[in-house]
Amino acid sequence: MPTAYEIYQTYLKGPAALIRQFEQALGTQAIYGQPTPDQQQRTIDAQAEEIDRLESQIIHLR
């Protein structure tokens, strides 16, 4: 958890920096709540595509 001084220093950088700091400290789920099932499925699909791409790249490199 950031100290009061770190929070203040980030506050001086603006709202976006402050939100980022709390997202990093608490996690986005603590701030925004549980993602919807649709959002979860899109994340799973995107990760599966990335895994396929990386596996293909590994095969090509071998």
pLDDT tens digits for range 7-61: 999 999 999 999 889 888 888 777 778 888 999 999 999 999 999 999 999 999 9
d(CA 22, CA 27): 7
* 3-state DSSP percent of the chain in helix, strand and coil, to 5: 85, 0, 15
The whole-number pLDDT of residue 34 equals 83
Task: Give the residue extent of every domain in the chain.
Answer: 4-61
Sign of the CA dihedral 23, 25, 29, 30? negative
Higher pLDDT, 48 or 2: 48
The whole-number pLDDT of residue 31 equals 78
| Residue (of 31, 25, 19) closest to 3 by Cα position | 25
Q: What is the pTM of this model?
A: 0.50
